[in-house]
Amino acid sequence: MNDPSSLRIEAAHKTIAEVFSKEYAFTIPAYQRPYAWEETQVSELLTDLDEAMSPESRSDGFYFLGSIVLVKTHGKPESRVVDGQQRLTTLTILFSVIRDLTEGAVKRASRETYVKQVANEDEGIPETLRLQLRQKDQAFFEKHIQTSRATDSLPAGDGLSGAKARIVENAATIRSRLETMGEEKRSELLRFLLQNCYLVVVEVPTQTAARRIFTVLNARGMDLSATDILKADLLERAGETKEAGLSQRWEDIEIALERDKFSDLFTHIRMIFEREKPRAALETAFPKQVPIFKDDPSAFVDNVLEPYADAFMLSMNDQELRQRFGVETADRVRSLERLDNKDWLPPLLLCMRQSNEGKRKNVEDVVFELERLAYYLFMIRADVNARIQRYAEVLDLLEPLPSPRPRAGHKERSSGLTLTKDEAFEFFDALDGDVYRLSRVVKPILLRLEQASNDGSANYDYPTISVEHVCPQTLKEGSQWAKWFADPEDHSWWIHSIANLVLLNFRKNSAAANFDFDRKKNEYFASGDTSAFTLTNEVREYKTWTTSDLEERRKILLERLADDWELEDELSAWWEAE
């Protein structure tokens, strides 16, 4: 049975002198983020302390530094920091700079005790640093900050990044401010900091309790993500012997993908395992939907996280995609990225992982069909429920679940990656409609047409790409346009169709919208002798732009897309049905 005294949670306000004493030996758990305070926050802290010290201060001579949350057994100094890393690290830098600027050797040694616990054999106290950062950063922190006289010669910031860069920048900022004070003012600052500044220290007895508090703090506004919570959960399950190694591997992936995409990766993994629309928060549901996460943390990193991270990085590496699967496949992946949703990514990641493991040889075929399906769902404006159900069925085709479970509201199975005749007809109806007023649709579909109109390398990197109407939206009375589109119904039918739209690699000029056709195509649509876009250059070849020209253009573009997506027979049937 647990000793009741070991289960208590304590909270008390303490001076900084009490916090940086033999009562506490702080360590930063591997699941915590790196040190991230920037120069602005450090400067604000120094300014606040200076103002709080002044006789005119309204703080009554005290300053509250906030709270810290620790995993700590009552009566023992070992303290794992759940919340408060940024403040404790910054205070350690501040103590180190004050120590190194101290003029007398005896006083300097005395001030060293706020950075390092002095050994005391009589009391059984070993020499130890008062704060240990994460394993990845600690050696650097000790060498350049905690070691006596280290801040006298800080390393150059060039080439440093992340926590190391923040540590050096903030140490330099603090040293610059404190050097201007003089010895007496620095001593006054130290006394005020130790005796008149307070932290609320919350001590919890177990990792489980800490993780719960960690989660609550996240819900109450701490800048933590679902993956931070999952990392804490995983490392707790793994145990202390595996914590450092798994944390390093986790962080390497997070750095490689960057934070937002790393979070997206967990959403995609969840879909690959669950194959349902999410109905709970990621940090809550992920351990249930991905059982290996809770059953075997090491196997999760080995067999799930790292392989899917590799697949994700492959999907974003255009050069490697071209080398392994060819230009067309790489361009189709880039085409997918233009869509306004990422629901197609789980099937792509599964396909890429299977390829990396030598389990799939037809990646080109899968990407071809996946891109066609994604554009079909995109053009008909399928809602999220329809998209997720369809992509879940694609996942089933790529890799059936070992124990499939009935899906809520699941209807008769679709054709997976293949488009049925009815779906192809629905696709052409959407392509043939008003695409311009669907703001999220028009540019991706025109760029996809551009891709189908040349050698397949339509990956334009212009700062601006805009969409322009050939025949203007408003017809000026007596103009060439008004004569060509005398029937308002004709004008309304054609104005927002793909046939009447072109791409420009600059911002639109509203004054040019009503230029007559010759002037518009030669002055506005081209820079010099040509436009950056095949579609626009093709329009410039027309002598007139009447409804007959638009009908011809419509037919060319729809046939071009049908050919590129291997829907020629379906288009012929659609023409006949029309």
Q: What tokens were used for 79?
A: 């303290």
**Residue at a domain's end among 192, 219, 246:** 219
Domain co-membership, 371 together with 467: no
pLDDT at 212: 63
121 contacts: CB under 8 Å, gap ≥ 6: none
Does residue 84 fall inside a structural domain? yes
Domain co-membership, 290 together with 244: yes
Angle of helix 327-336 versus helix 318-325 axis, rounded to 10: 140
Does residue 424 fall inside a structural domain? no
Domain co-membership, 262 together with 370: yes
**Residue at a domain's end among 219, 240, 255:** 219
Domain co-membership, 195 together with 259: no
CA distances 490 to 320, 434, 468, 475, Å, are 48, 13, 19, 12
CB-neighbour burial class of residue 487 (10 A; exposed 0-12, middle 13-18, buried 19+): exposed
d(CA 68, CA 18): 13
Does residue 110 fall inside a structural domain? yes
Does residue 423 fall inside a structural domain? no
pLDDT digits (tens, 9 = 90+) for 164-204: 999 999 999 999 999 998 899 999 999 999 999 999 898 88
| 109-141 burial code (b ≥16 CB/10 A, e <16) | eebbebbbbeeeeeeeeeeebbbbbbebbbebb
pLDDT digits (tens, 9 = 90+) for 90-145: 999 999 999 999 988 999 999 999 999 887 777 777 789 999 998 888 999 999 99
Q: Between 437 and 216, whose confidence is greater?
A: 437
| Maximum Cα interatomic distance, the chain, rounded to a whole number of Å | 104
Does residue 512 fall inside a structural domain? yes
Domain co-membership, 133 together with 252: no
Domain that holds residue 49: 4-219
43 contacts: CB under 8 Å, gap ≥ 6: 173, 177
pLDDT digits (tens, 9 = 90+) for 124-139: 777 899 999 988 889 9
Domain co-membership, 120 together with 49: yes
Does residue 471 fall inside a structural domain? yes
Q: Would you give the distance in Å from CA 228 to the centre of its chain?
A: 13
Domain co-membership, 157 together with 212: yes
Does residue 425 fall inside a structural domain? no
**Residue at a domain's end among 418, 452, 479:** 418
Which residue, chain included where needed, has tokens 């488009």? 419
149 contacts: CB under 8 Å, gap ≥ 6: 100
Contact 308, 269 (CB under 8 A): yes
Domain co-membership, 270 together with 252: yes
Domain co-membership, 311 together with 452: no
Domain co-membership, 125 together with 262: no
Does residue 534 fall inside a structural domain? yes
pLDDT at 404: 63
Domain co-membership, 94 together with 212: yes
Q: What is the mean pLDDT of residues 552-576?
A: 96
Domain count along the chain? 3
Question: What is the DSSP-derived secondary structure letter of residue 120?
Answer: B
Domain co-membership, 257 together with 392: yes
pLDDT digits (tens, 9 = 90+) for 400-435: 988 765 555 545 556 789 999 999 999 999 999 999
pLDDT at 520 over 50: yes
